[in-house]
Amino acid sequence: MNTDDRSDAHGEFGPCACSQVRRTARKLSLVYDRALSEAGLTVTQYAVLVNVARAREVSRTALASALGMDRTTLTRNLGPLERKKLIVNAHSSDRRERLLCLSAKGKSKLRASYAIWEGVQSEFVRRLGAPTFALFEKTLATAENVAESILNPPR
């Protein structure tokens, strides 16, 4: 068969894992963003609040790492949360280290938005099916690990 005559489902150049993941992520983010807009949050802002709450006090570097984002992207996402006084600076014994924590208002916002997040999460899992969701989580974690090993190969 002449390679110019290929007509497979993915076209001449084949499927791209990155494009599929990005397409899926955009749609799934939209689902969560629409639901969380009721609480005045995006899914990214919600994730920031959750990760700060889990850590209680966290540096920007550690938070960026936990979220899988660079510090510039984190700073852009922290801005609205800091302006709304949902995230504030925590007191640190090391004056060089600036830690973040949730304010009382941030804790309240997180509690209120959790019910919304839980509703959309439950709906997604229900529609996907619990066994498929478990496989989905495992596959995404494996893909993340493979990407990390490509970026930072063992020496």
Query: How many CB atoms within 10 Å of residue 143?
Result: 13
Report residue 49 as tokens.
């609040």
Per-residue pLDDT tens for 24-76?
Answer: 999 999 999 999 999 999 999 999 999 999 999 999 999 999 999 999 999 99
The answer to whether residue 5 scores a pLDDT higher than 60 is no
CATH number of the 43-150 domain = 1.10.10.10
Per-residue pLDDT tens for 103-137?
Answer: 999 999 999 999 999 999 999 999 999 999 999 99
In the prediction, which pLDDT does 155 show? 84
The answer to whether residue 9 scores a pLDDT higher than 80 is no
Diameter over CA atoms, the chain: 70
pTM metric for this prediction? 0.85
Query: Where exactly are the structural domains of the chain?
Result: 43-150
29 Cβ contact partners less than 8 Å away, ≥ 6 residues apart: 43, 44
